Chains A and B, each alone.
Chain A
Amino acid sequence: MKKSLFTLAAFVLVIFATTAQEVKFEEFDLDNGLHVILHQDNTAPVVITSVMYNVGGKDGDRKRTGFAHFFEHLLFEGTENIERGEFMKIIPANGGTFNANTSQDRTYYYEIFPSNKLELGLWLESERMLHPVIDQIGVDTQNEVVKEEKRQRYDSPYGGLFQAIGTNLFKVHPYKDPNIGYMEHLDAATLEEFNAYFDKYYGPNNAVLVVAGDIDVVQTKKLVGDYFNEIKSKPEVVRNFPKEEPITETIKAKAYDKNIQIPAIIATYRTPGFASRDASVLDMISTYLSGGKSSVLYKKLVDEQKLALQLQSGNIPQMDYNIFALFAIPQGDTSLDTILDEIDEEIVKVQNELISERDYQKLINQFENQFVNANASIAGIAESLATNYLLKGDVNLINKQIDIYRSITREEIQAVAKKYLSPNQRVEIEYLPKKDNE
């Protein structure tokens, strides 16, 4: 299950970024509105070029879900100067690695190269932004590939978990739809619709370019201009998503998975988006509940009472609403209700009493450790910089996030638990093995 939750987290990308040593960076805008962030670190001959676009699963027509993720595939097909299939050949052929990922909020592309290939990385990303080839052959191929990706991810044990959460926790906000989209939407989509989507969301003014690693800042600035200046800006993207009504009565739901034998229980709460202070407080509550073997829920349910085989809580970070989720797989004949009752007992304690001074210090130590490790690679740094700028509105969070955690008091932890984590504010999902005829 660890694996599934990891995948789940990878959909939305947890970031507790910042380093113990200050991460220095420089930022500027091109005339076309492309924001550029440079981070120089010459300790190893490696460079990353990455672009984060402010477009994710939540964007676009609700009868055409899954476009953002589909584009993540489509934009590797080729450009006016890069033949079909060459994108994935050129990068390894120059000793580089690449990948891309899509969340409900944004799409992220990157290449990592030995540092003498910096210009190549900039060329690739500018080609993708300037004039990718979007044609029927590419659409047809990637349509099949995306379906396989869906089968691989969602049709594996506990693979339907995240969709079950989205569907039940959101009624009107587009977070209700699966990030990968409904396949019938992709089947029905026309080439014109794909082109229109590109024109709407893939402008330089809706993106951030990060170049990090073994670079020379002056030379890099020039190259960035050379490759990106000619890209025209596009009309500003306006978003106006419907707001969710607060949950005031427990919503009970069931979901079925044909690939499992043991059921699971999920209790999930709609909480403030990741840029809010309350989201940071909830990060700490989540770690208090299940971070490490001495955490209250792990110790009680898994270790002492042997009620759960696995137990995990998580504060899944998203822009508009976070998803605070408690997940457990029962051990033996334990009922799902019993597990939920035992979990609630501990949450009630957090709501009614201050956590101990020692537990508080433990949390701070755990976050400090995460903070130091988060930016151990230039790839991690680049992504943090992009996210902090594009989605959180403060690049320097990379250095300040730990101060936010340090500033959160025990009283605040209690208050936030009270404010968001009561049973009537949540969705309870019984995640059950699917029998043949269900």
Chain B
Amino acid sequence: MNKMKTFNIKTKVSAFVALFLITISVSAQIDRSKQPKAGPEPEITLEVPGEFELKNGLKVLVVENHKLPRVSYSLRIDNNPIATGKKAGVESLIGSMLGNGSTSISKDDFNEEIDFLGANLNFGFSGGFASSLSKYSDRILELMADAAINPLLTEEEFNKEKTKLIESLKQNEKSIDAIGGRVGRALSYGTNHPYGEYTTEETINNVSFGDAVAFYEKYFNPNNAYLVVIGDVDFSTIKKQVKKHFGEWDKSVEVTTTLPEVNPNAQYTQINFVDLPTASQSSISVTNNVDLKMNDKDYHAALITNNILGGGGEGYLFKNLREDKGYTYGAYSSLGANRYGASRFNATAKVRNMVTDSAVVEALKEINRIKTEPVDAQTLKDAKAKYVGRFIMGLENPRTVANYALNIKLNNLPKDFYTKYLQNINDVSVEDVKRVANRFFKPENARVVVIGKGSDVIENLEKTGIPIKYYDAYANAVEKPTYEIEMPADMNANKVLNAYIAAIGGQDKLDKVNSVYITAEAELQPGVMMNLEMKKTVKNQSLSEATAMGQSIMKSVIDGEVGYIIMQGQRKDLSGDELKDAQVESSPFPEVNYLNGGVTLEKIEKVEGGNAYKINVGNTKSIYYSVDTGLKIMEVETSEAGSSTTYFLNYQEVSGVKFPFTMGKTFGPRKIDFIIKEIKVNEGVTDADFD
């Protein structure tokens, strides 16, 4: 055991100072307006654990620490991550079956003895942990080894654990944390990756007792195992004991597993939304995959950079979302390092429903800030000091040096990784922070995974302009959820239409309209205008033509029984149903025609913050009328090519009738606003226009 500690903190003159102080303490003045200066940095020397290896491959690390009469053993089977796919859950099942007896000690006797010793012993599929007072150190090690090498695996126990695992899934069915974690991992890594797959009742039911035993046989082996011993033990004694108890553990065939690639990052920033109607908070996670290993030259800079963004109460995220806005109890970020190159950047917060959209926007803002603004020198200095302090304080716990030694082995780090750690932290520069932020934080390719109450939050999330994709709690893509609002039983389509007619001026005023002539324009892109001209008459005549830069883009004409469309120079004559539909629409107020039938009232839906009646016209068109004002606010037309939406806003009166003076039309992901230039009633239209 190489062990050396030199702590040199206290002054030798303290006794002298004490004497001196008795006389001056009364007049001792401190200046409390200033933060006190620190004393000299404590000197530290890292302890190194003792090591040995058994013939079967088990590597043992020993940290002697005699401060308290206790000992702990942790066993780690270092397999590559294992994908269990359709049998996900097999690892949990075998994990909970282990540590319940051995082939020579019954389960009851085994558990009774552990408890009697006042000890703890737990297993999982990739190792185990035991602790006890040091007076029982040999026996608890023996029990641990026996349970690991000769486990008592029975079908009865298997079935019991299976039932428990299925039921325990239900406990977290409505937890935003559980859903957020699962969906975030599945979307980021992909469900065929060990880190992205998840356990369901179905996958648990796919697992047989034989599968669980086979998993143990294949993966629970000493070949790549580590045993870490910490506490009140003596190196040479413990070496003998480990050899005695773990020496018979047979080495097995090397298992080679290939790890699938993780999913690529999203092509563009997107919200991945999961609706949980019971949620009173939204869980937000801005995440992208990163390839960061501990031996990466940017590792230390990555720690510091993430800390500045979201490492604690002093981070950009916390300062903004909690301390400035009060949106959340906490906002943090993490940047994982993983030796297989499969880890994530993840900025998270849980916020109240009504500020979900703002929190997303602010979080993205802070992430972009660290990528574009140089970090303040003092902030960087503070972040480094935090890591230095943590490093020093970590030495209080004997587990720290064991973890360091193990990390070096597992992550293939240079031997001096931890002795150079503080130096490397201190070397991180302002430029490094910006560079590393740009390397690892990718808001432009991030998923913003939001779990929340859709009826409260979706509408505002849509206003952020970030595209939203919808998923169920298991990361399967679903349709956007819709929310039923109760409709009065005596409501029908004609009442809605009559309310609309009344709202725009009343049947009397409409009767006086024989023709309308509307001109409008929209800015397609900066400086490029599109002009729109529409003429409609009560004789089922209509014309509409769009022109841009002096060229006709589209023209459609209906004149009684004939009609045609010209698009990009191609003329197409209308006939049959197409013509019939077009005739209905060619009226200045098609609602007058709808009163004759062919339309149905479906339901009330939330549109742009208000409730609206949804009227379906045929199979392809839905029109929404505001419950409050009666006005038409939106029209959605669905075709094989997708759906296009038109919004009607800014109603103004012309000749006693209200017309929308803004019409927003969606073209794929874009929305273009047509601004009405002029509306003429009963002028500017002749039959010749529809030839």
Shortest distance in angstroms between A46's beta carbon and chain B's nearest beta carbon?
Answer: 5
Contact of A126 with B32 in the complex, beta carbons under 8 Å: yes
In the docked arrangement, what's the CA distance between A119 and B35, Å?
Answer: 9
Q: Which of A238-254 contact B (CB under 8 A)?
A: none
Shortest distance in angstroms between A164's beta carbon and chain B's nearest beta carbon?
Answer: 17
Interface string of B150-168 (1 = CB under 8 A from A): 0000000000100110011
Q: Assuming the A-B contacts A93-B314, A222-B21, are A151 and B116 also in contact, with contact meaning beta carbons closer than 8 angstroms in the complex?
A: no
- The stretch from A140-148, A385-393, A416-424 touching chain B is A140-148
Contact of B386 with A331 in the complex, beta carbons under 8 Å: no
Q: Please name all residues of chain B whose beta carbon is closer than 8 Å to the beta carbon of A148 when the two chains form the complex.
A: 281, 322, 326-329, 350-352
In the docked arrangement, what's the CA distance between A92 and B378, Å?
Answer: 12
In the docked arrangement, what's the CA distance between A315 and B62, Å?
Answer: 37
22 pairs from A and B in contact (CB 8 Å cutoff): A1-B171, A45-B44, A46-B392, A46-B396, A85-B323, A88-B314, A92-B312, A93-B314, A93-B382, A115-B9, A126-B32, A141-B324, A148-B329, A151-B329, A158-B171, A261-B171, A292-B111, A295-B115, A309-B168, A332-B167, A367-B118, A372-B70
Contact of A94 with B385 in the complex, beta carbons under 8 Å: yes
Q: Please name all residues of chain A whose beta carbon is closer than 8 Å to the beta carbon of B528 when the two chains form the complex.
A: none
In the docked arrangement, what's the CA distance between A85 and B315, Å?
Answer: 11
B174 touches which of A46, A142, A260 (Cβ 8 Å): A260
Q: Which of B392-424 contact A (CB under 8 A)?
A: 392-393, 395-397
Q: Please name all residues of chain A whose beta carbon is closer than 8 Å to the beta carbon of B325 when the two chains form the complex.
A: 144
Shortest distance in angstroms between B500's beta carbon and chain A's nearest beta carbon?
Answer: 33
Interface string of A360-378 (1 = CB under 8 A from B): 0110011111101101111
Q: Please name all residues of chain A whose beta carbon is closer than 8 Å to the beta carbon of B397 when the two chains form the complex.
A: 377
Output the residue of A114, A143, A149, A155 with the most chain B CB within 10 A: A114
Interface string of B70-111 (1 = CB under 8 A from A): 100000000000000000000000000000100000001001
A377 touches which of B114, B350, B396 (Cβ 8 Å): B396
- The stretch from A165-173, A211-219, A341-349 touching chain B is A211-219
In the docked arrangement, what's the CA distance between A45 and B8, Å?
Answer: 9
Residue of B nearest to A80 (CB): B33
**Is A44 interfacial (CB-CB < 8 Å)?**
yes
Q: Please name all residues of chain B whose beta carbon is closer than 8 Å to the beta carbon of A260 when the two chains form the complex.
A: 171, 174
Contact of A157 with B175 in the complex, beta carbons under 8 Å: yes
Q: Which of B155-201 contact A (CB under 8 A)?
A: 160, 163-164, 167-168, 170-175, 177
In the docked arrangement, what's the CA distance between A97 and B393, Å?
Answer: 10
Residue of A nearest to B393 (CB): A46
**Is A198 interfacial (CB-CB < 8 Å)?**
no
- The stretch from B10-18, B51-59, B238-246 touching chain A is B10-18
**Is A176 interfacial (CB-CB < 8 Å)?**
no
Number of contact residues on B: which range applies?
Answer: 35 or more
B115 touches which of A259, A262, A362 (Cβ 8 Å): A362
**Is A136 interfacial (CB-CB < 8 Å)?**
no
**Is A185 interfacial (CB-CB < 8 Å)?**
no
**Is A37 interfacial (CB-CB < 8 Å)?**
no
**Is B69 interfacial (CB-CB < 8 Å)?**
yes
B167 touches which of A20, A142, A309 (Cβ 8 Å): A309
In the docked arrangement, what's the CA distance between A145 and B327, Å?
Answer: 7
**Is A352 interfacial (CB-CB < 8 Å)?**
no
Residue of B nearest to A45 (CB): B42
Contact of A369 with B133 in the complex, beta carbons under 8 Å: yes
In the docked arrangement, what's the CA distance between A173 and B204, Å?
Answer: 48
Top-4 shortest CB links A-B:
A95-B389, A144-B326, A93-B382, A45-B42
A216 touches which of B14, B313, B389 (Cβ 8 Å): B14
In the docked arrangement, what's the CA distance between A123 and B393, Å?
Answer: 20
Contact of B10 with A141 in the complex, beta carbons under 8 Å: no
**Is B641 interfacial (CB-CB < 8 Å)?**
no
Contact of A378 with B396 in the complex, beta carbons under 8 Å: yes
Q: Please name all residues of chain A whose beta carbon is closer than 8 Å to the beta carbon of B40 when the two chains form the complex.
A: 116
Contact of B7 with A127 in the complex, beta carbons under 8 Å: no
Q: Please name all residues of chain A whose beta carbon is closer than 8 Å to the beta carbon of B39 when the two chains form the complex.
A: 115-119
**Is B369 interfacial (CB-CB < 8 Å)?**
no
In the docked arrangement, what's the CA distance between A309 and B162, Å?
Answer: 11
A151 touches which of B69, B280, B318 (Cβ 8 Å): B280
In the docked arrangement, what's the CA distance between A156 and B68, Å?
Answer: 38
**Is B434 interfacial (CB-CB < 8 Å)?**
no
Output the residue of A85, A149, A259 with the most chain B CB within 10 A: A259
Contact of A226 with B30 in the complex, beta carbons under 8 Å: yes
Shortest distance in angstroms between B17's beta carbon and chain A's nearest beta carbon?
Answer: 7
Residue of B nearest to A90 (CB): B35
Q: Please name all residues of chain B whose beta carbon is closer than 8 Å to the beta carbon of A369 when the two chains form the complex.
A: 70, 118-119, 132-133
Contact of A227 with B385 in the complex, beta carbons under 8 Å: no
Q: Assuming the A-B contacts A227-B30, A331-B167, are A293 and B114 also in contact, with contact meaning beta carbons closer than 8 angstroms in the complex?
A: yes
Q: Please name all residues of chain A whose beta carbon is closer than 8 Å to the beta carbon of B350 when the two chains form the complex.
A: 148, 151-152
Q: Please name all residues of chain B whose beta carbon is closer than 8 Å to the beta carbon of A122 when the two chains form the complex.
A: 36
**Is B463 interfacial (CB-CB < 8 Å)?**
no
Shortest distance in angstroms between B322's beta carbon and chain A's nearest beta carbon?
Answer: 6
Contact of B68 with A376 in the complex, beta carbons under 8 Å: yes
Q: Please name all residues of chain A whose beta carbon is closer than 8 Å to the beta carbon of B177 when the two chains form the complex.
A: 156
Output the residue of A20, A43, A293 with the most chain B CB within 10 A: A293
Q: Please name all residues of chain A whose beta carbon is closer than 8 Å to the beta carbon of B170 when the two chains form the complex.
A: 261-262
Contact of B382 with A291 in the complex, beta carbons under 8 Å: no
In the docked arrangement, what's the CA distance between A122 and B30, Å?
Answer: 12
In the docked arrangement, what's the CA distance between A116 and B43, Å?
Answer: 10
In the docked arrangement, what's the CA distance between A151 and B312, Å?
Answer: 20
**Is A338 interfacial (CB-CB < 8 Å)?**
no
Q: Please name all residues of chain A whose beta carbon is closer than 8 Å to the beta carbon of B33 when the two chains form the complex.
A: 81
Q: Which of A251-282 contact B (CB under 8 A)?
A: 258-262
Contact of B68 with A92 in the complex, beta carbons under 8 Å: no
In the docked arrangement, what's the CA distance between A157 and B396, Å?
Answer: 35
**Is B680 interfacial (CB-CB < 8 Å)?**
no
Q: Assuming the A-B contacts A145-B326, A148-B329, are A222 and B28 also in contact, with contact meaning beta carbons closer than 8 angstroms in the complex?
A: yes
Q: Please name all residues of chain B whose beta carbon is closer than 8 Å to the beta carbon of A409 when the two chains form the complex.
A: none
Shortest distance in angstroms between A401's beta carbon and chain B's nearest beta carbon?
Answer: 15
Q: Please name all residues of chain A whose beta carbon is closer than 8 Å to the beta carbon of B41 when the two chains form the complex.
A: 114, 116
Contact of A43 with B67 in the complex, beta carbons under 8 Å: yes
Q: Please name all residues of chain A whose beta carbon is closer than 8 Å to the beta carbon of B70 when the two chains form the complex.
A: 369, 372-373, 376
Shortest distance in angstroms between A424's beta carbon and chain B's nearest beta carbon?
Answer: 31
A261 touches which of B11, B108, B174, B314 (Cβ 8 Å): B174
A258 touches which of B34, B174, B323, B396 (Cβ 8 Å): B174
Q: Please name all residues of chain B whose beta carbon is closer than 8 Å to the beta carbon of A115 when the two chains form the complex.
A: 9, 39, 42
Q: Please name all residues of chain B whose beta carbon is closer than 8 Å to the beta carbon of A375 when the two chains form the complex.
A: 68
**Is B606 interfacial (CB-CB < 8 Å)?**
no
Q: Which of B272-326 contact A (CB under 8 A)?
A: 278, 280-281, 311-314, 318-319, 322-326
In the docked arrangement, what's the CA distance between A366 and B397, Å?
Answer: 23
**Is B339 interfacial (CB-CB < 8 Å)?**
no
Q: Please name all residues of chain A whose beta carbon is closer than 8 Å to the beta carbon of B351 when the two chains form the complex.
A: 148
Q: Please name all residues of chain B whose beta carbon is closer than 8 Å to the beta carbon of A299 when the two chains form the complex.
A: 108, 111
Residue of A nearest to B100 (CB): A293
Residue of B nearest to A153 (CB): B329
In the docked arrangement, what's the CA distance between A375 and B115, Å?
Answer: 21
Contact of A95 with B388 in the complex, beta carbons under 8 Å: yes
Contact of B172 with A120 in the complex, beta carbons under 8 Å: no
Q: Please name all residues of chain A whose beta carbon is closer than 8 Å to the beta carbon of B324 when the two chains form the complex.
A: 141
Q: Assuming the A-B contacts A218-B21, A259-B278, are A96 and B164 also in contact, with contact meaning beta carbons closer than 8 angstroms in the complex?
A: no
In the docked arrangement, what's the CA distance between A368 and B170, Å?
Answer: 37
In the docked arrangement, what's the CA distance between A122 and B39, Å?
Answer: 14
**Is B439 interfacial (CB-CB < 8 Å)?**
no
In the docked arrangement, what's the CA distance between A155 and B283, Å?
Answer: 13
Q: Assuming the A-B contacts A95-B393, A114-B389, A114-B393, are A145 and B322 also in contact, with contact meaning beta carbons closer than 8 angstroms in the complex?
A: yes
8 further interface pairs, Cβ-Cβ under 8 Å (given A43-B67, A45-B44, A156-B177): A43-B396, A93-B383, A116-B38, A218-B14, A225-B28, A303-B160, A306-B163, A331-B163
Contact of A116 with B9 in the complex, beta carbons under 8 Å: yes
Shortest distance in angstroms between B533's beta carbon and chain A's nearest beta carbon?
Answer: 52
